[in-house]
Structure 1
């Protein structure tokens, strides 16, 4: 039997509006979880700009970037909470993913080894009811998961504009089983052993 590790969700908020519809939807979805959950507001953290110094190595993460990296490492599941901004992800979510490129170039972080043990999720809302509007945001994260060898957990899409409108969207009811499926308990992740 493959040993497992307890689940721990990290919610990465990236909206320019605190307490907006995407965050409300994610907190509704998280109510089913019995495992630890950590919430980080990327928009409030002043992440540094990403600089690509290649062929030199990037600087070691420090400050709030190091804090996010630490929380990512400790989690089993990473959920981007990201409303659609101009048909894509908000700037803080994009910026964090840019920094992942730098993490990959620092062998001592072991980033490519442990990131593949994570599940990646997306919770998103949009004002435009056209179903394809959020396609790019989901595709970006799906392809990120595929390229890094992560498991793709899924995406929860909602339609809302003014704060609180999400409670009247079908996504509000769908949130109650988004992370586990109807009536199912969310399983622990298999423990992955890497050579040292």
Structure 2
């Protein structure tokens, strides 16, 4: 008997829930519903062509140029003055010859001034929360895994270790020397040696001309 009463109560609650849901749907205005048939569908060809046009229009006019980091030639205040002594000092440190003429010296001073101005502009860039680049290399996860040293990398070295004596000291045997570490030898069949005019064993012989000394 109690189970029948519980079943009736459950049916009554379900009926009330359905009635409330129906009343809520009836209160909604018809304009809130948009038929699926009225939604316009874009064709893939049209979207792809429009995307190409957008990209072309964006790349047509550059928004920035590296020339903005160079000093203005017409404005002397933007250039960094470099003395002739400083130029000669830098050339001496770089083991470079001094300028051969006044025109070449003037060109070097202008180039050096522009380079210093460029470096200072780069130094003014805000690098807060930017991880410094330690080296020019591949920073992807795959490259990091390839550079990681693990057990498989040391497997060949660990296999050559032997325990010797009562204290089990570790000794590593020498690896066998490869006769051809670079793979197939170019000396095989003497293919390249045949092209030499003078050959001695497995080596080429090159005759150098003696300079005439007065």
Greater fraction of residues in helix: 2
Same fold (TM over 0.5): no
TM-score, reference length from structure 2: 0.16
Greater fraction of residues in strand: 1
Which entry has the higher C-alpha Rg, 1 or 2? 2
- Which structure has more relative contact order (CA 8 Å, sep 6+)? It is 1
TM-score, reference length from structure 1: 0.17
